[in-house]
């Protein structure tokens, strides 16, 4: 029996990387998914890749009007949400000396504010309990140079999960975070100017990861499925670290 039969999931950042892998896996397990992302062309590709039981809604999680449109669409089509996966994210390298207010505001706007209001606006539709998965990062446990704002936003998600796990427990809603390590997704390419630089970063990440390689989006999808399904029915407020040992040993 599939693990998510009859469930309705909303996945932000669902047009690529971890979000797309999670959407594919959830549909395979019987869910209907709504995915959102900023680029319509990428959403169209994702819809074709998923193939069935999916609705795409273009939008930016940092824009509250776009979030309202997303959940209005969910309400119109399904009327309920069982699973929220907050996977949309943004990273840009800046040290404390080079960071600008614009960089700070964009990073926190997408990674922290966007997650906060995604969950807030989903709650009225979570009428039969459910699961919320916040995609954090193993970097909230480390001090990587030039990642100060990014890591801080991911630490904020860890804090949100603890608080919301308590605030929402009486509604039967579990809230957990997933903290990936280096995962082979387009977000790596977006951090560098050339493919050669991005590939060198992949090699460097592999060398500092105890398991000896970077992770695959499908591995993160399996972790998200665990947190979203009844397999983790006794887990709330936890941080599931899936980073090849990078922050753990």
From CA 120, how far away is CA 100, in angstroms rounded? 28
Quick check: is 248 in a domain?
no
From CA 207, how far away is CA 155, in angstroms rounded? 25
Quick check: is 3 in a domain?
no
pLDDT in tens, 82-104: 999 999 999 999 999 999 999 99
pLDDT at 26 over 70: yes
pLDDT in tens, 152-172: 999 999 999 999 999 999 999
pLDDT at 190 over 90: no
pTM of the model: 0.95
pLDDT at 1 over 80: no
* Contacts of 220 by beta carbon, 8 Å cutoff, 6+ apart: 18, 21, 22, 135, 178, 180, 183, 242
From CA 38, how far away is CA 152, in angstroms rounded? 23
Which CATH number goes with the domain that contains 228?
3.40.50.720
Strands, DSSP E only, in the chain? 8-12, 32-37, 54-58, 83-86, 130-135, 173-180, 239-242
Q: Which residue has the tokens 């699961």?
A: 131
Quick check: is 197 in a domain?
yes
Domain count, the chain: 1
Domain with 139, as residue range(s), is 8-242
Residues designated catalytic: 150
Quick check: is 249 in a domain?
no
């Amino acid at each position: 029996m599939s693990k998510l039969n009859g469930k309705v999931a909303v996945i932000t950042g669902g047009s690529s990387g971890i979000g797309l892998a999670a959407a594919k896996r959830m549909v395979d397990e019987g869910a209907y998914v709504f995915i959102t992302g900023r680029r319509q062309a990428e959403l169209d590709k994702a819809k074709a890749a998923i193939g069935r039981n999916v609705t795409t809604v273009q939008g930016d999680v940092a824009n509250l009007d776009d979030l309202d449109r997303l959940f209005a669409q969910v309400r119109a089509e399904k009327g309920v949400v069982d699973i929220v996966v907050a996977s949309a994210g943004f990273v840009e390298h800046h040290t404390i000396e080079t960071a600008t207010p614009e960089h700070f505001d964009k990073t926190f706007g997408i990674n922290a504010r966007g997650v906060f209001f995604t969950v807030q606006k989903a709650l009225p539709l979570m009428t039969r309990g459910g699961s919320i998965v916040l995609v954090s990062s193993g970097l909230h446990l480390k001090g990587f140079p030039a990642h100060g704002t990014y890591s801080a936003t991911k630490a904020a998600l860890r804090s949100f999960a603890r608080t919301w796990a308590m605030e929402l427990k009486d509604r039967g809603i579990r809230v957990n975070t997933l903290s990936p390590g280096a995962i082979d997704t387009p977000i790596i390419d977006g951090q560098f100017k050339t493919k050669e630089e991005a590939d060198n970063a992949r090699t460097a990440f592999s060398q500092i990861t105890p398991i000896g390689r970077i992770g695959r989006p499908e591995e993160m999808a399996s972790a998200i499925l665990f947190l979203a399904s009844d397999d983790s029915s006794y887990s709330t407020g936890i941080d599931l670290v899936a980073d090849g040992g990078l922050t753990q040993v």
